[in-house]
Amino acid sequence: MDYIQSLYNKIWASLIRPPKRNYQEHDLGHNHFSINNNHYYRLDCQLRNAFKEWFIISIFHPCDEESNLKQSQMFLVYCHSHSGSRTEGIHLLENIHNDTTALITFDFWASGYSSGKYLTLGWFEAIDINAIC
């Protein structure tokens, strides 16, 4: 019976408290870079959700060669996978073929470098998305 209880606890913990993905700022790329002849400027900041928990956000904003920001018409918000981080969405910049779309990636509550201790499998994570929009 102890074995079953131990196994249950491990499964439960892996779902709601997986290890946070460690990454470094350089994993996000340079602050100003080009992909497919489109130039981007990365702005990193912290936001607070309705529960006063903070989370990290990166905005990859279209710009010109001198880092002057262009007016964005659309924002694409990438939601990372279970136990993922904001680094997962960077590859999407290769598929943006215009200079009016900005990409937003972020660390959900309890993921990456955001605060929070437990994942809620979508319940509180939706509150992070509301804080962005």
Q: Which long-range contacts (CB under 8 A, 24 or more apart) does 116-119 make?
A: 116/53, 116/55, 117/17, 118/16, 118/17, 119/15, 119/16, 119/17, 119/18, 119/82, 119/83
pLDDT, tens only, 100-126: 899 999 998 888 888 877 777 777 788
Pair 74, 101: CB distance under 8 Å: yes
Mean pLDDT of 72-84: 88
Can you tell me whether residue 64 is helix, strand or coil?
coil
List strand residue ranges (DSSP E) for 26-81, in order.
Answer: 32-35, 38-48, 54-63, 74-78
Mean pLDDT of 71-78: 90
pTM here is 0.81
Instruction: Give the model's pLDDT for residue 125.
Output: 81
Instruction: Give the model's pLDDT for residue 124.
Output: 76
